[in-house]
Amino acid sequence: MDEMTVYADILILTNFIVDYFLISLSCRFLHKKPRFCRLVLSALSGGVFSLYIFLPQSNFFIQTIVHILMCAILCLVAFGFINTKSFLRSVAVLFCVNFAYSGAMIALW
């Protein structure tokens, strides 16, 4: 089997860029306009969260919970916390946008 080398800096940068666009797309669906620095900080958090792939993987249920928590943290950074309904809606939209993006990339591959 061929080995594949993953460079952490490239992984973080790539995920930073993708997360920035996914969060920006979520902003359009949510009709929110957070400050640019909040978007960048949220995307940077997502880039750092991508290092999660280097940790030992557990079962699917736990991985799903971790990904939802990561979406929640990205939403907190990008949009702040106004009320529970708005926060949960933001998390659901970001999670769905990520899910759609993942499906599109798998289809292209």
The 10s digit of each residue's pLDDT in 59-83 is: 889 888 888 899 899 999 999 998 9
45 and 73 in contact (C-beta within 8 Å)?
A: yes
Please give the pLDDT value at position 1: 58
* Residue 23 to residue 26: CA distance in whole angstroms: 5
Helix spans in the chain (H): 8-30, 36-49, 60-79, 84-108
**Cα-atom radius of gyration of the chain, to the nearest Å?**
14
pLDDT at position 56 over 90: no
Please give the pLDDT value at position 92: 93
Average pLDDT, integer, range 83-92: 94
The encoded tokens of residue 18 equal 């993708």
